[in-house]
Amino acid sequence: MFNHLEEHELIRQAMVGDTTALSQLLQQHYAFVYKYLLKITLNPSQAEDLTQDTMARCIEKIKLYNGTSKFSSWLITIATRLMIDQGRRRLWERKWQKNEQQVTLRQLQWQTAHHTNEAWPDVLDALAAMPRESRIPLILKHYYGYTYEEIGGMLAIAEGTVKSRVHNALKQLRKELK
């Protein structure tokens, strides 16, 4: 670890474009930022991605570092803001996907209600309420006719798990349609 004067000199050099000094600073703080992000995300892959994003942002913004806080605190601030932004993006993406699924479901309901005499709109409602882990094996088995073994291979789960999920999904579907 650098002492305060050495770190201050590296920061000064990095701010005027010395890439070697910047590289030394980032190498010195990488593990610190990663361990911080690992503690708050509890996800090694996400922590690694965010640490790399933090280092990239530091490279872009090094000239904006004003020295009012420790350099490590500045990096933690960047990392925290990136993590919060990522969480917001993921929440927005989940909301968007849910909305798209609802639009598609409404379109399917309209099409089936107007083009068939079947009870598909009710079935689609019940399928939409079902968790994806149950819905996918059920559709693969009873709509497409795949075997339990084939479905297990497609979803990378045991054949017994497929049977259980299909059985439970059928029970739920019957209950919903009564």
pLDDT band of residue 121 (cuts 50, 70, 90) is low
Tell me: do 122 and 81 sit in the same domain.
no
pLDDT digits (tens, 9 = 90+) for 54-65: 999 999 999 999
| Tally of CB atoms within 10 A around 166 | 20
74 is a domain residue: yes
Query: How many domains is the chain partitioned into structurally?
Result: 2
- 15 & 89 share domain: yes
In whole numbers, what is the pLDDT of the chain averaged over residues? 84
- 122 within 8 A of 128, measured Cβ to Cβ: no
Confidence of residue 78 (pLDDT cuts 50, 70, 90): very high
Cα 173 to Cα 178: distance, rounded to the nearest angstrom: 9
What letter would DSSP give residue 16? T
Instruction: Report if residue 53 sits inside a domain.
Output: yes
Verify that 80 and 138 share a domain, yes or no: no
- Contact status, residue 63 vs residue 76, Cβ threshold 8 Å: no
Residue 178 predicted with pLDDT over 80:
no
- Residue 42: phi, psi to the nearest 5? 55, 30
The fraction of the chain above a pLDDT of 70, given in percent, is: 87
Structure confidence at residue 117 (pLDDT):
52
Q: Which residues are CB-neighbours of 172 under 8 A, at least 6 positions away?
A: 126, 130, 134
Higher pLDDT, 176 or 12: 12
* CATH number of the domain to which 14 belongs: 1.10.1740.10
Residues 9-54 have pLDDT tens digits of 888 898 999 899 999 999 999 999 999 999 888 888 999 999 999 9
Q: What is the pLDDT of residue 168?
A: 93
For residues 148 and 67, membership in a common domain is answered with: no
Check pLDDT > 60 for residue 116.
no
Query: Is residue 110 situated within a structural domain?
Result: no
